[in-house]
Every structure is written in structure tokens, then in C-alpha cells.
């Protein structure tokens, strides 16, 4: 028995050495309003793509920051788990000299952004431009701290993506005919093709560790439900079908990237399933000890323990807005429709506004991601702790 115990300890040593605790690598964030920490505060756009006014931010920051929620977003909570500070928006003024002593990454995400340049064109920072900002950031780091250290940052960093939702929702929100010009499968291929270009460019700069979210059932977001005249608040199925097709192709896309790109590691979070469970069974998803479904890549065996709280009470209606399901995108009264109401307790709601979730949901999702165990040996936690 003693020999067997010694053998188990010895075979474990390489993994312990390879993943020993050390300062977390930088985090680079790309995407849309699920991840935007305030970049759109600094661009010439409309209030449809900004959230720098009350009541955004009321639950955590106590003031608006530009985040489309009542508080923190998924990357904010992931950063906390990794013992990083909040990752700043790229366009926010930064003191580089002070910043470089402890470089933690930067957030390029822009609310309304898509993988396609045509998505809300001229009003957002599209994915291609976000890539250009990343290249500028690395070039600036090379000037300040040298090429070798900038290359080390690129190669050890974790890259986090949430993109695609706006590419599929915008044709319905703008009454665009673009979807009539392409088969749905071709349109999804265009979206993923642009994502592929960006991932390959980051890999060329040394990036190896990536986090992706698949898409929620977009037609079931409150702002899309009210566009369906044939049902009483039912889902807009055509949009949901596009997101389903995207998710299926995304899995294939990531396997292909892993085969093509040397050292490419990824974690795919099943945002769709997690959100669907919370909207269809809101009372079940209080913060308490239970088994959570994590990802198409994860075993449903991760647990997290926190103080017991009641489940959500509302899985379809937005906390902030007006009209049916509170789904008119008027939260804050600075958009086209000025009338809005705010629920008394955002913690009881899954949706904060027409298209975005409450901080409580985002925190649950981030906790699920951090604590996930996977068959691929690419857990999210390992991307931060293993170099």
C-alpha cells in the first residue's frame, strides 16, 4: 500500500509543477455588450449602444460605468477569480507608466459589435477594429517594455470572446433584408469566418489560450419576443434558429482551430444551456449547493457553495424597460422611448433590460465557468494557472 501511495504522488508531480500557483496572466477581452466595460462611452455613437447613465450599474458600482447590466459582467467576475483587478476598457485613459508595473490586460469589447463590419456599422467598434486595437496595444507595450516582454505577455495571456449575437439580431431590429441575400448557413459561415481571421491573427502574435461563449437562444430575449406578433410573448424562432446553427458550427470551428494552430487551447462555455435553464426554471436557480450544467465540454459534476438565496422569480420579463414584458429598450429614458420602469430587486430577475442579464446571472455563469471540470483537460481555471 505504501508503494502504491508513493507511485500516485510521483505521477502527480508533473501536473503540480506545471500548474503551480503564480501571478495570473493578463486577460484580453473581445466582443459585444456582454463584455463591454465602457469602451462605447468614448466613441461617437447613439444611446442605443451606450449604458453610461442611471440605472445601469446600480447594484454593484452604485453608478453607471458603461456596462449593460445593474453591476458586473462575466469577465469582471472571472478576473476576480483569477485575482486580477477589473480589466480596463481600451479607450479609457490610462497611465501607461504606472500600469506597466503590473500589466493585467485590456478590454476591447464594444456594445453592439458584431463579427461582420456591417453590423451596426459606424456606431460600434467591430471585431476587426478590436483586433487592430489589440495590435496597437502590443506595439505600444513593445515600445515601453521591449519586444521580448511584450511577446511574453501575448503568449501567456488569456483571450476571451463573446461575439455573434448582434450579427443575427440586427437584421430583425433594423428590418434589414440582408438575410434574404444569403442562405442562413452561408451567413453563419461569414460570421465565423471573420472570427477565424481574428483568432488566427492573435495566434500569430503568440496567443494560445482562448475562452469562447456560445450564443443564447436569441429569439427568447425579451426585446425579440415582442417582435413576434403571432404569439403572446413567445420566442422569435428564426433568430433562435440562427443562434442554434451558429453554436453547432462554432463547435466544429474550434476543433478545426485546435487541429490547425500550434498550441491552441480553448474553453467553450455553454451560455445557451445555462441561460435557458434559468429562464425556464427560474425558481431553481438560487445560489445554493446543487449540480450545474456547465458546458458541452464539461461534466455536470462541478459544485459551488455559497449562502443560500432564493431562486429567480422572473425569467422572461426585463427588470428595466417598459411595455409588454418590460421589453421595450428604454431603460434609463435616454433612448427613443423615454418611459421606463425599474424593478425593486434586480436579484429576482434573469434579464436586466431587453437584451442583457442581471449581475446575479452573470456572476452565477462566471462561477460555473471557473469551477467547470472538463474531459479535454482545458478547464478555464487551468488557462489562468498553467503556463
Active site residues: 33, 353, 356
Output phi, psi for 321, to 5 deg: 160, -155
Q: What is the secondary structure of 283-295 as a DSSP string?
A: GG-SSSS------
Could you tell me which of 380, 377, 282, 382 has the C-alpha nearest to residue 78?
380
Could you tell me which of 315, 320, 346, 317 has the C-alpha nearest to residue 331?
320
Q: How far apart are CA 378 and CA 91, in angstroms?
A: 31
Phi-psi region of 369 (alpha: psi -120 to 50; beta: other; left: phi over 0): alpha
Could you tell me which of 306, 264, 263, 302 has the C-alpha nearest to residue 287?
306
Q: How far apart are CA 131 and CA 108, in angstroms?
A: 8
Output phi, psi for 306, to 5 deg: -145, 175
Instruction: Report DSSP state, residue 41.
Output: G
Are the C-beta atoms of residues 252 and 268 closer than 8 Å to each other?
no
Pairing between strand 298-299 and 373-374? antiparallel
List all residues 6 or more positions away from 289 whose beta carbon is below 8 Å from its beta carbon.
303, 304, 305
Q: With b meaning 16 or more CB within 10 Å and e meaning fewer, what string describes 245-258?
A: bbbeebeebbeebe
Instruction: Report DSSP state, residue 357.
Output: B
- Quickly tell me which residue has 503568440 as its cell: 206
The reply to whether omega before 55 is within 30° of 0 (cis) is yes
Q: How far apart are CA 3 and CA 250, in angstroms?
A: 46
Amino acid at each position: 500500500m505504501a508503494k502504491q501511495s508513493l507511485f500516485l504522488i510521483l505521477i502527480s508531480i508533473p501536473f503540480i509543477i506545471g500548474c503551480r500557483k503564480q501571478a495570473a496572466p493578463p486577460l484580453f477581452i473581445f466582443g459585444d455588450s456582454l463584455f463591454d466595460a465602457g469602451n462605447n462611452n468614448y466613441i461617437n455613437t447613439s444611446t442605443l449602444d451606450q449604458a453610461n447613465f442611471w440605472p445601469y450599474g446600480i447594484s454593484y458600482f452604485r453608478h453607471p460605468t458603461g456596462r449593460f447590466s445593474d453591476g458586473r459582467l462575466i469577465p469582471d467576475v472571472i478576473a476576480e477569480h483569477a485575482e486580477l483587478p477589473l480589466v480596463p476598457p481600451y479607450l479609457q485613459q490610462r497611465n501607461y507608466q504606472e500600469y506597466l508595473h503590473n500589466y493585467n490586460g485590456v478590454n476591447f469589447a464594444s456594445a453592439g459589435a458584431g463579427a461582420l463590419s456591417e453590423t451596426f456599422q459606424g456606431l460600434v467598434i467591430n471585431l476587426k477594429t478590436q483586433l487592430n486595437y489589440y495590435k496597437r496595444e502590443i506595439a505600444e507595450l513593445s515600445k515601453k517594455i521591449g519586444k521580448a516582454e511584450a511577446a511574453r505577455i501575448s503568449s501567456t495571456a488569456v483571450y476571451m470572446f463573446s461575439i455573434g449575437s448582434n450579427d443575427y439580431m440586427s437584421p430583425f431590429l433594423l428590418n434589414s433584408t440582408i438575410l434574404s441575400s444569403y442562405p442562413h448557413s452561408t451567413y453563419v459561415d461569414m460570421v465565423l469566418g471573420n472570427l477565424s481571421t481574428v483568432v488566427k491573427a492573435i495566434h500569430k502574435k503568440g496567443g494560445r489560450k482562448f475562452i469562447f461563449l456560445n450564443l443564447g437562444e436569441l429569439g427568447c430575449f425579451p426585446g425579440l419576443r415582442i417582435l413576434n406578433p403571432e404569439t403572446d410573448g413567445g420566442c422569435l424562432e428564426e433568430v433562435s434558429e440562427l443562434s442554434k446553427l451558429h453554436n453547432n458550427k462554432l463547435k466544429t470551428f474550434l476543433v478545426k482551430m485546435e487541429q490547425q494552430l500550434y498550441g491552441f487551447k480553448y474553453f467553450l462555455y455553454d451560455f445557451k444551456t445555462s441561460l435557458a435553464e434559468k429562464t425556464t426554471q427560474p425558481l431553481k436557480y438560487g445560489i445554493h449547493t446543487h449540480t450545474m450544467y456547465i458546458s458541452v465540454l464539461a461534466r455536470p459534476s462541478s459544485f459551488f457553495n455559497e449562502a443560500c438565496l432564493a431562486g429567480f422569480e422572473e425569467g422572461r420579463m426585463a427588470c428595466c424597460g417598459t411595455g409588454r414584458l418590460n421589453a421595450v429598450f428604454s431603460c434609463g429614458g435616454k433612448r427613443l422611448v423615454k418611459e421606463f420602469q425599474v424593478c425593486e430587486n434586480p436579484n429576482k430577475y434573469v434579464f436586466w433590460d431587453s437584451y442583457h442579464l442581471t449581475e446575479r446571472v452573470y456572476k452565477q455563469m462566471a462561477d460555473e465557468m471557473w469551477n467547470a471540470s472538463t474531459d479535454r483537460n482545458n478547464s478555464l481555471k487551468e488557462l489562468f494557472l498553467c503556463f
